[in-house]
Structure 1
Amino acid sequence: MGVLWLCCVFLTVCGSGLGGSDKCDEVRKVFQVRHIGPSQVLPPGPRPGSDLQVCTSKNLTCCTKKMEERYQVAARRDIQNLLQMYSNDLKTLLSRNVASFQETFEVLMRQGENYTNAFLQASYQKMADQAAGPVGELFTDIGLFLLGSELDVDGFVQRFFDGLFPLVYGHITNPGVGHLSPVYAECVRSINRNIRPFGAVPDLLADQITRSGVSGRLLLQALHLSIEVINTTDHLQLSRECRRALLKMHYCPHCQGLTESKPCMGYCLNVMRGCLASMAEIDAHWREFVRSLEGLSAKMYGAQDLEPVLLGVHAVLRDAIGHAEKNRARLSTQVHRKCGPPSWKPAQSVSVLESSSTVSIPPRAANRTPGVSLTVKRREFLSSLRSYLTFYIGLPDQLCVRELASGDTPCWNGTELVKSYTLRVVRNGIRAQSANPEVKVKGEDPLINQVIDKLKHVSQKKLHMSVALVSQVAG
């Protein structure tokens, strides 16, 4: 009777995949190498597993309840690390381009400001130094607008021309006398908007900055949102059912001494499609978001392209001053009526002659910082982003095919090693999970729904409305 009992115990251990305490030694080694938990929770050898909740087995086991708890934490950590690893390239692409576009905007603004000051030095040298302040404020306001500040573009463009008008009026009235006195200059500044000395040029510049600036800031906002989406899904809060399924798939085989086994492909797909079901719901909205970016980029040319607008401010300013020069008689009469005869500060002891050739204005397409073209950057970015169009819908499959599942037999089916997984494999998405044999999905994730709402808002409201508005104005 004793011999028979010993044989039964031997067969039970062998049948469970343990084959003796040496298999538990292997489990112990893996447990410690992977830093899953302290060695005190490990049993000295195979034991009954009646206290286990997920990794249950009729056979002897190498696991304790404390080990099972540690395994569940490890399984969750492993999946989150994999999610972050797989999204890292996409996040890097987005982060790098946010920084790149912001840097390009800054470079273009510096160049635009330099071109404008160079034009004034070349053509209107006497007033160039005084005009540098208003020019700097104009480009500072443009930069703030691009970064999302709720500035009134018409307002800051008009303020620029308000500050410019006394300088221009002094130039066209009597360029050799000197500068207008502060009191008289303030009066001239105050009537700028009423007499419109620069014609329609201020409105034109404000329109160009608005249209190109809205596109630029929407591009940055969209990229910031996409990074937020990635960060949210990287740190997805897994449901209790998912955590138990991951434990069963990843570490329950260890309890039977099967430390090198991998889950069957179908089994892995069911678990991961169940755990990431809410993520799959992002797919349609992510695709629409990318298409919206493409639509926005396609419209960013001409008056809506920030690059020629910023680098062309000096040309707009030339037209504005030219308009004032052509209408000097009318302007002189209007200013005299409102402010009286000009009051001047004494001229400098050494007069500075006007010159149209003292300073050369760099051509708009020349002397550029290499790689600064917004058009090229947008094209390269969108080309790279298209390769992630199916990122969310394909994530469970990618994780199983590349990292988690076994393509060989035997494989782990959640209970034992088998030749193949025989249960139904469900599709991606919330609706399909009602038939999932491995994970019970109770409903949508509220956090994912918030992400979807933000994507919808940007895609359907901001980007589409911007494209429609620009098309209407351009037409």
Structure 2
Amino acid sequence: MCPQGPTCCTITMEENLASLSAQETEGLIREAGRSLQASFNSLHRSFDTYFTELHGRSERSLQEVLSSLGPLYSQNTRLFAELYTDLRQYYRGSALNLDENLSDFWSRLLERTFKASAPTDVTLSEDYFECVAKQQETLRPFGDIPRDMKTKVIRSFVTARSFVQGLLVSADVVKKVSQVSLAEECTKALMKLIYCPHCRGLASVKPCSNYCSNVMKGCLANQADLDPVWQELIDTMIQVASSFSTEPSLDVVLSSIPVRIYQAVHYLQENMDTFTAKVFQICGTPGEPGTGSPTTHEQKKKSGSLTALDHKPSPTAGLRLEIQVSELSSKLREMRQYWVQLPVALCSKVAAGSNSQDNCWNGITKSRYLPGVMGDGLANQINNPEVDLDITKPIMKIRQQIMQLKIMNNRLKDALEGNDVDFQDASEDISGSGSGMCLSGQCARSRPGLYAYAPETNPVGGAAIVYISVCNLPLLLPFTILLLQR
């Protein structure tokens, strides 16, 4: 492995030193990877703690804000608690369709509010309540509040969940890529770089920096191919982090949920007579003639009317969010060029300084290193004088991680549009909602990075994930034959 000439190393010693150089370099790569993983995990803990506190504070304010609803709140605390449970589970990655869950909450709240306002001597059947619920879209009993709140809550929770998934996926990719073993060609090059000077009696002479760069760029060529999609993912994550402070900001959306519910009930009670009259026209008048008339509702409304409530967020909440976004963005930018800077970082530990470039180990003797430095990535190593790589044979484990980064990047971009790709159906005409709808309402989820490997998403139409079942294979055969003929 070492240049021919006087040497104090036997063939066996060279083989042992070559193995040692590979182990030491792999150890440095894993050490750098662990440091980056720790940074991602720190960001995840920081944001998760912040978001969980926001969610908990909003839930704790329920009783304070909604207690004035009287029995409508005290007798339906489970309904409101389940809303927050669903939101929490969705953020944690549960297979919930947030759009449907929020719609179901407002339907159930309408039923309870309508029931509370009805005369006590009238029994309303399940079928009647179902008819009332169906009028929600056309009659809009809560005004525009449900639609407005749904849009903002979905946007906030989709971006928050996608962001934490992005942090976890990035850390997982770093872990897996950092554990990839070095190729045999790289082992020989590292031996020549690090220990051949010892065999020539030049143990104190460090490798030339450009020489080291070529060796490390060759050894880490596949890893450097992560760079374009890695930088794009980091940029998208910074965009998502910045979106948290876009009006309405993340903290305002979460803290205002109880107030928006209160305002919706207040709106319905103020307009209960009009709504009830329209429901009676469509669903029929329940009970005996005359019961449940507008006059009865008017009396009830006056006896238990509500006062409109304005939401006033904490004065320090905005400052804390601003600090959170700033820290996230700053630390993410520091990670942006990790894969192309990794060879430089490794060489800083083994190569000579800039003042010793005429008296450094150049792979043959103590002298200046003349060849130029190769570019980054596998394709640029075709003429690498130090590492003989077959650029047509990329490392598949690393290619799989590149695909994972692309998938996560697509999810984050969809999150910026308020779309949850995990719920996007393959058929655009079936899915009429921006957040995506599943036919059964229970959509299969493949959480990236820590979970099952998912196929790459289709960026068209909200980045729908298309799953091909066995029953569709006969339809694909003619198309496949046509492609093979071409």
TM-score, scaled relative to structure 1? 0.73
SS in 2 for 1:109: helix
Q: Judging changes above 3 Å, is the alpha-carbon distance between structure 1 residues 58 and 317 closer, same or farther for their aligned structure 2 residues?
A: same
Corresponding residue number in structure 2 for 1:383: 330
8 Å Cα contact 1:218-1:463 kept in structure 2: yes
Corresponding residue number in structure 2 for 1:145: 90
Corresponding residue number in structure 2 for 1:156: 101
Give aligned pairs, total. 395
Q: Which amino acid aligns with 1:310?
A: L
Give the deviation of 1:361 after TM superposition: 10
Give the deviation of 1:186 after TM superposition: 5.1
- Given candidates 58, 67, 70, the residue that maps to 2:16 is 70
Corresponding residue number in structure 2 for 1:429: 377
Corresponding residue number in structure 2 for 1:454: 404
Q: Judging changes above 3 Å, is the alpha-carbon distance between structure 1 residues 434 and 195 closer, same or farther for their aligned structure 2 residues?
A: closer
Corresponding residue number in structure 2 for 1:119: 65
**Is 1:309 aligned to residue 253 of structure 2?**
yes
Q: Judging changes above 3 Å, is the alpha-carbon distance between structure 1 residues 99 and 469 closer, same or farther for their aligned structure 2 residues?
A: closer
8 Å Cα contact 1:270-1:436 kept in structure 2: yes
Q: Which amino acid aligns with 1:293?
A: M
Corresponding residue number in structure 1 for 2:215: 271
Corresponding residue number in structure 1 for 2:470: none
SS in 2 for 1:435: coil
8 Å Cα contact 1:242-1:275 kept in structure 2: yes
d(CA) in 2 for partners of 1:187, 1:375: 49
Could you report, residue by residue, the CA deviation over 1:184-218 in whole angstroms, capped at 9, with x for unpaired residues?
48566534422323244333322222222221122
Superposed, 1:88-99 pairs within 5 Å as 88-99=34-45
Corresponding residue number in structure 2 for 1:133: 78
Give the deviation of 1:88 after TM superposition: 4.0
SS in 1 for 2:382: helix
**Is 1:328 aligned to residue 310 of structure 2?**
no
Q: Judging changes above 3 Å, is the alpha-carbon distance between structure 1 residues 187 and 322 closer, same or farther for their aligned structure 2 residues?
A: farther
Q: Judging changes above 3 Å, is the alpha-carbon distance between structure 1 residues 242 and 166 closer, same or farther for their aligned structure 2 residues?
A: same
User: Between the two proteins, what is the percent identity of the paired residues?
Assistant: 26
Q: Judging changes above 3 Å, is the alpha-carbon distance between structure 1 residues 339 and 200 closer, same or farther for their aligned structure 2 residues?
A: farther
Corresponding residue number in structure 2 for 1:394: 341
d(CA) in 2 for partners of 1:304, 1:466: 16
Give the deviation of 1:64 after TM superposition: 5.0
TM-score, scaled relative to structure 2? 0.72
Q: Which amino acid aligns with 2:237?
A: L
Superposed, 1:7-46 pairs within 5 Å as none
Give the deviation of 1:107 after TM superposition: 1.3
Give the deviation of 1:245 after TM superposition: 0.8
8 Å Cα contact 2:211-2:369 kept in structure 1: yes
Give the deviation of 1:331 after TM superposition: 4.4
Q: Which amino acid aligns with 1:365?
A: S
**Is 1:85 aligned to residue 31 of structure 2?**
yes
Extract unaligned runs of 5+ from structure 1. 1-53, 344-352
**Is 1:108 aligned to residue 68 of structure 2?**
no
d(CA) in 1 for partners of 2:246, 2:116: 32
- Given candidates 120, 145, 167, the residue that maps to 1:223 is 167
Could you report, residue by residue, the CA deviation over 1:194-243 in whole angstroms, capped at 9, with x for unpaired residues?
23232443333222222222211221222122112211331132111011
Give the deviation of 1:279 after TM superposition: 2.0
Q: Which amino acid aligns with 1:438?
A: E
SS in 2 for 1:411: coil
Superposed, 1:201-212 pairs within 5 Å as 201-212=145-156
Q: In terms of mean alpha carbon deviation, does 129-138 or 154-163 score higher?
A: 154-163
Q: Judging changes above 3 Å, is the alpha-carbon distance between structure 1 residues 71 and 399 closer, same or farther for their aligned structure 2 residues?
A: same
d(CA) in 2 for partners of 1:355, 1:73: 81
| Bigger radius of gyration | 1
RMSD: 3.3
**Is 1:172 aligned to residue 122 of structure 2?**
no
d(CA) in 2 for partners of 1:469, 1:153: 12
Q: Judging changes above 3 Å, is the alpha-carbon distance between structure 1 residues 60 and 215 closer, same or farther for their aligned structure 2 residues?
A: closer
d(CA) in 1 for partners of 2:310, 2:275: 29
8 Å Cα contact 2:241-2:328 kept in structure 1: no
Superposed, 1:43-62 pairs within 5 Å as 54-55=1-2, 57-62=4-9
Q: Which amino acid aligns with 2:364?
A: T
Give the deviation of 1:170 after TM superposition: 4.6
Give the deviation of 1:141 after TM superposition: 0.9
d(CA) in 1 for partners of 2:132, 2:199: 84
8 Å Cα contact 2:111-2:129 kept in structure 1: yes
SS in 2 for 1:81: helix
Give the deviation of 1:133 after TM superposition: 0.9
8 Å Cα contact 2:224-2:377 kept in structure 1: yes
8 Å Cα contact 2:266-2:306 kept in structure 1: no
